[in-house]
Amino acid sequence: MLRQMPKQLSFHTSLYNKIPKNHILKTIKDTVDFSFLNELLADSYCKNFGRPAKEPALMCKLLFLQAMYGQSDEKLIEDASLNLAYLYFLDLNPEDELPEASLLSKFRTTRLQEYTLDEIITEIVRQCVEKDIIKCDTVSIDATHIEANTIRKTPERLMKHLARNIIKEYTEETLEPLENIPDEPEYKEIEDHKEAKEVMKDYLETVIEEAEKNLTKETTSTQNAIDKAKEIISDPKFINQKGVRSLVDEDARVGRKDKNKDFFGYKAEFVMTTDERIITSVRTSHGAYIDGTYADEMLEETKKAGIDLKEVYGDKAYFRKNILDIIGELKAKAYIPVSKMVYRIDEEEFSYNKDSDEWQCSEGNLTVNKKYFTSNTKKGFREGYKYYFEMKQCKSCAKHDKCAKKSARKILVIGLNTNEFYEISQYQKTDEFREKYKKRASIEGKNAELKRFHGLCRAKGYGLKSMSRQSKLAAIAVNLKRIAAIVSSLPVNFIQDILVFREIFGF
């Protein structure tokens, strides 16, 4: 049962005068109004029955402290009971009792949903906009990789463990050994990796087949183990080492850092204001996540917080037609370098005239015709345009044999959006774009801060839900720190003066 606890000041609160006025926690508490947390989480508690619960605002602020200072549940409660700044931030009297450490884990897993943390981030950002802490209308978007809290295993090793789980569950439930199964293969002695996978797959399928012959209504655990094994090995990505790589953390996946390096774990994607460096939205996914998949949701959350977007910055991974369209629909301008993966025109050989819809080659020949085409190849469906150069000039050109090869004239085959991308590429060569694009660099420092000081280099738990909760709490922690830094640098009573001014004049 959720009950509003009275906050009567005790005689001992005079001890809080010992906390320096510029202490980070004092600045945060005086700037951010956390009262919305009780209302936000009220529906997750029973209103009329049960024992009185600890206030959601108190529990959330404990988790914020934990994310800020990187402490375990037990260490956090121990320090909070002795640290005056912690107690002041928690809105407690010095003599008040703190919740048991075990309640933190329960609250974190049963009360805090992903959408709840999203709403907390949005509300804190909204307050910053209202108090003029956030003034800029530009944001950056980027993703950072996070290592899983377990090692990745080969398919052979996973299949070995899947088979052992089935045998173990069967033996425990029936009190009899599983018969008619061959000895476990020594897959490490097989030099050919593909052969080793086939041997272990055959062995696992034999174990499944023999176990299924003796299943009854009572062998539910064995059935669950079999179903799990079937689900994993039926995925084509599993054998190709792109699917499940750990039975401890089945959500983690192998992703790429660059062309030569990979990692096993997750990706967290952030939208951040470029000037104030405050995170406005967070999404977390597996390691094989394609950057920008949730760009529309994240930018909408940013607008919901009250930021009027004018510019969006990103790296080459975000140069895709759908993302550019999303930014355009928000009436913002995209500052994203052209990616060679989606724009493959050699600009030293070809240039485009938008007004006449003509391409010109380096020898001065112009296109005279244009046709839309579609094709189905081994690489998939493709559509675009074919531009045909003027035949007579093409035949007399010195580069004809090299350029047109077997054709009578050069045919320039381009993608559906190449003409639009060409215009973007020309703007990106200007000094204006280069100067503007420097703003994106601020998000790299934020990623480094999250990894180095807030544990986002490695997952603390297992599974996507746990990882998402960790990344969003880390984002809230760095936001609170940044808010304190900004407010501390402002003139005395600046925030209060702004609020009074708005109250008097009605805006």
pLDDT mean for each 10 residues of the chain (507 residues) = 55 82 94 92 66 80 96 95 93 90 91 90 97 95 96 94 95 90 91 92 94 86 94 91 93 90 96 97 96 96 96 95 95 94 89 92 92 85 92 88 82 92 94 95 94 95 96 97 92 52 49
User: Which pLDDT does position 379 carry in this prediction?
Assistant: 72
Round the CA-based radius of gyration of the chain to a whole number and report it.
30
What does DSSP say about strands 380-389 and 411-415: parallel, antiparallel, or unpaired? antiparallel
User: Which pLDDT does position 10 carry in this prediction?
Assistant: 67
pLDDT tens profile 253-290 = 999 888 789 999 999 999 999 999 999 999 999 999 99
pLDDT tens profile 114-158 = 889 999 999 999 999 999 999 999 999 999 999 999 999 999 999
Burial class (CB in 10 A: 0-12, 13-18, 19+), 356: exposed
CA 119 – CA 106 distance, rounded (Å): 20
User: Which pLDDT does position 441 carry in this prediction?
Assistant: 93
Per-residue CA distances from 243 to 34, 100, 402 (Å): 41, 39, 45
Q: What is the DSSP string of 279-344?
A: EEEEEEEETTPPTTTTHHHHHHHHHHTT----EEE--GGG--HHHHHHHHHTT-EEE-PPPTTT--
Map out the domains of the chain with their CATH numbers.
11-132+481-505 (no CATH), 138-148+256-339+435-475 (3.30.420.10), 155-239 (no CATH), 350-423 (no CATH)
CA 370 – CA 372 distance, rounded (Å): 7
User: Which pLDDT does position 501 carry in this prediction?
Assistant: 47
User: First-to-last CA distance in the chain?
Assistant: 39
User: Which pLDDT does position 358 carry in this prediction?
Assistant: 93
CA 124 – CA 496 distance, rounded (Å): 17
Half-sphere exposure of 174 (CA within 13 A, CB side): 21
> From the DSSP assignment, how many helices (H) and strands (E) are in the chain?
20, 11
CA 479 – CA 488 distance, rounded (Å): 14
Cα 297 to chain centroid, rounded: 12
DSSP designation for 361: E
